[in-house]
Structure 1
Amino acid sequence: MILHVSGLDKFIPPFIKLIRDEFNEEDHCFWLSGSLEAYPLECKSDVYVCGGGLVGKIKGYVKLVRQLHAARKVILHGLFNIKVVLLLALCPWLLSKCYWVIWGGDLYQYKSAKKSLLSWVKEGLRRFVISRIGHLITYIEGDIELARQWYGAKGTHHECLMYLSNVVDSSLIAEPLGRPKDDASLNILVGNSADPSNNHLEVLERLLPYKDENIKIYIPLSYGDQGHADKVIKLGKSWFGEKLVPVTDFMPYETYVEFLKSIDISVFNHRRQQAMGNTITLLGMGKTVFMRTDVSQWCFLRNLGLKVCNVEGFTTELLDRERAMKNSAITRSYFSKDTLLKQYSKIFEG
């Protein structure tokens, strides 16, 4: 049995469906924590959701300990749950069969940890566990280097796209386009959520020289820090008026892909690995993507032969059609469902 341990998140229901559809369902089971209301999925015998309340949680974590010991392999989808980290620290003999799927935010907790006793204890537990985990899963080599540098990780690296959000569905995305028509607005996407790590305000300042041009600025703010979202909307409206369009309603995947087709330029100003699903889809569409050069995905994308632009040198100049087509071809080739399935087959069977 392969045990998957995860918090419920938007990536998980599609991942469970992928496992059920493409692999032997009887070989996998899922221990989940979180809200099924927020992220509904079809619950079968292969899925256990840790209950609410003290008693439910105690039963859930007792079950997890049993499943951890019974499993042939343990796939840890992110290392955010400190209770799971604690259990693994108390059972270090389990760590050699654990595979950490590195999400990004779990890795970068190293930089965001507060200077407090509680934070020091949590980081100590994380270092103990991460340094002993047998296997590390990501497609970004830079994140492996950081895990080794920050936490002393020694596990074997398995290259894997991780989730369907990192797969380009050629049937859903448009062919790469050239410049918008003369009478059409230049549509600019800023960030991927209401999280302050998007550094929206810095981007809006960079866009100020273009405020009198025919532009539309779209900012996804449907999830994340709503206090920060309100601040972004207030300031953005004062600077750009109706040219700033906050996207505050959550869109189904297909609807969101259609929305991305209308974007000409995207600006991701994160200081860590983030928004990769958006980045990959936009590159597959031949869109112009700006990001910081000091994030791990910058070198990864450039090494694939993709043209991504430095946010420090932002302009409204779009990629030419030839370059856009090349970006699209590279993206569709590497970030494919076939690649994802082959990578997981190797991980599950190894």
Structure 2
Amino acid sequence: MNYHIMVDDKFIDGFINDAEKISTINTNTYFINGKKENSVHVKNSIVKWISFRDKDFINIVKNITKNDKVIIHWYDLKTGLFILKHLNKEVTLYVALWGGEFYEDPYLYHINWIHDKKTLEFVKNNNIVPEKYNKKFYFFFKKLWIQLTYKSKAEKLFKQKIGTIKRINKLLLPKHNEAEISLIKKIYNLNQLDFLDFNYDQNVDLASFINIENKKREDNITNIQIGNSATESNNHVDAFDVLNQFKNENIELVLPMSYGNHKYNHFVKKYGNFNFKNKIKFLEDFVPRAEYIQQLMEVDVCVMYHNRQQAFGNCVPLLILGKKLYLKKENPLYSFFKSIGVVVFNANEIKDLDFDSFKKELTPEEKNTNKIILTNLFSEEERLKYLSKILN
């Protein structure tokens, strides 16, 4: 039996559909950590909604044998500690890499390398630095105590995290992603990290069926997408500072912000509106995947200002659609795309570019190369082939 422990996320229903296509009937059991009534993304009726405190679920995990497999989708510290406590050490543990659970958990341990200068200042102000005196002594001293103790607490949690990472038998991540493996080994001081090829649905098939014949807008505006969500690791305001040199050009900034941190969302909107006035648009409504991929056709240039791997499901369809993508060199995705021959650009160099160079389209040959490489690597056929080797 394959036991999947998952969270309510937009990728999960698609994964379950894939797993059921290639598995023998009744060989997969899907557990979602959460309450069904609070579900936002997962609609599949075959999942079982659980809590790590449920005695029945704990007994199920304790009785999993070495002939079974456990596949974790979102392996944060809480999940890892649960596994260490209740899962037999002889059971093979597979973990599908998402990103945030390895690079932002525990959160305060990683903040200095995940965030750029202005975003880091926001993060510290909202998580560590005491608020100004406002007669609410409890909240002031609570913040002050956090400031004084957060490093030691974060280091303690990180040591626990290392133990949960070492429990992993097989890490599941896209083929050729050596940069990601190297980064994880460096962060967690691992000599060995076994892995298998694996892909979630990165929206390749949806993007491949869209007509990518360029249709120039009559207003000739250059549409620039920044980031993929209202999460701090996007470093939006630091990206704004780099793009500020183009604010007088005929541009429109578009920011997908349909999920993430409400306070951070407000911070980004305030900063962006002040600097770019009416040349910035925030997409805050969650839309179905197919509709979102269709919206990507409006993008001319995309700037992903993450220092860690993120927005894979945006980057791949954007490249298939022939769009120009900037990634920071610190981001393992930059090395990944480069290593497989995909044409991407270094976001660290934007500050040195004039506008014409920044927005210059890919050549027809470059667009076609990107599409062929990514379609072959992330197609449904390849995705199911990798998954079959894991589950069967």
User: What secondary structure does 2:98 align onto?
Assistant: coil
- CA apart distance, 1:58: 2.7
1:257-300 CA-partner distances (Å, limit 9, x unpaired): 11101111000000100011100010010100001011111111
Is 1:78 aligned with 2:78?
Answer: no
5+ residue gaps in structure 1? Answer: none
TM-score relative to the length of structure 2 = 0.80
- Output the CA distance in 2 between the equivalents of 1:5 and 1:191: 28
Q: State the match for 2:248 in structure 1.
A: 212
How far apart, CA to CA, are the structure 2 residues paired with 1:168 and 1:219?
A: 24
1:249 is paired with a residue whose SS is coil
Q: How do 1:34-113 residues align onto structure 2 when only pairs under 5 Å count?
A: 34-36=34-36, 37-44=39-46, 47-51=47-51, 57-59=53-55, 61-66=57-62, 68-69=64-65, 72-80=68-76, 82=78, 84-91=79-86, 93-94=88-89, 97-109=92-104, 112-113=107-108
TM-score under structure 1 length normalisation:
0.89
Q: Would the aligned equivalents of 2:179 and 2:332 in 1 still touch at CA under 8 Å?
A: yes
What corresponds to 1:31 in structure 2?
Answer: 31
Q: Which moved further from structure 2: 68-77 or 202-211? A: 68-77
Worse-superposed segment, 11-20 or 267-276: 11-20
1:134–1:156 CA contact under 8 A, matched in 2: yes
* Aligned twin of 1:136: 171
- 1:118 deviation in Å? 4.5
SS in 2 for 1:229: helix
Which among 308, 311, 317 is matched to residue 275 of structure 1? 311
Closer, same or farther in 2 for the Cα pair 1:111/1:117, shift >3 Å? closer
CA–CA distance in structure 2, aligned partners of residues 176 and 148 of structure 1: 42
Indicate how the Cα distance of structure 1 residues 141 and 167 shifts in structure 2: closer, same or farther if over 3 A, else same: farther
Alpha-carbon distance change, 66 to 110 in structure 1, aligned in 2, over 3 angstroms: closer
User: Residue 126 of structure 1 corresponds to which residue in structure 2?
Assistant: 161
Determine if the alignment matches structure 1 residue 327 to structure 2 residue 370.
Answer: yes
* Structure 1 segment 163-182 matched on structure 2, within 5 A: 163-165=200-202, 167-175=204-212, 177=214, 180-181=216-217
SS at match of 2:71: strand
How far apart are residue 182 of structure 1 and its match?
Answer: 6.3
State how far apart, in whole Å, the 1-side matches of 2:152 and 2:90 are.
Answer: 25
Distance 1:62 1:93 in 2: 12
Q: How do residues 254-293 of structure 1 correspond to structure 2 at under 5 angstroms?
A: 254-293=290-329
Instruction: Kindly report the root-mean-square deviation, in angstroms, between the aligned alpha carbons of the 2 structures.
Output: 2.4
Number of residues of Structure 1 aligned to a counterpart in Structure 2: 340
Contact residue 171 and residue 193 of structure 2 kept, 8 A: yes
Q: Which has the higher mean CA deviation after the structures are superposed, 183-192 or 105-114?
A: 105-114
**Residue 246 of structure 1, CA deviation:** 0.8
State the AA in 1 paired with 2:12: I
Residue of structure 2 aligned with 1:247, choices 268, 271, 283: 283
Cα deviation 1:21-68 (Å, max 9, x = unaligned): 342241111122024321232223xx22115xxxx8333542442354
1:146 corresponds to: 183
Q: CA offsets per residue over residues 114-150 of structure 1, 9 Å max, x none?
A: 4455434432232123223211111122222223233
In 1: Cα distance, 2:53 partner to 2:83 partner? 17
Preserved CA contact (<8 Å) 1:3 1:71: no
Instruction: Provide the residue aligned with 2:333 in structure 1.
Output: 297
Unaligned runs of at least 5 residues, structure 2:
110-149, 351-357
Rounded to whole Å, the distance in 2 between the matches of 1:93 and 1:237 is 53
> How many angstroms does 1:332 deviate by?
1.3
1:29 aligned partner, one-letter code: T
Q: Secondary structure at the match of 2:336?
A: helix
Shift of 1:176: 5.6
Deviations 1:11-30 (A, max 9, x none): 11221122223422411111
Are 1:157 and 2:192 matched, yes or no? no
Residues 1:234 and 1:173: Cα distance change in structure 2 (over 3 Å) = same
Q: For residue 190 of structure 1, what is the aligned residue in structure 2?
A: 226
Percent of paired sites with the same residue: 27
In the alignment, the residues of structure 2 paired with residue 69 and residue 96 of structure 1 have an alpha-carbon distance, to the nearest angstrom, of 6
Counterpart of 2:363 in structure 1: which amino acid? D
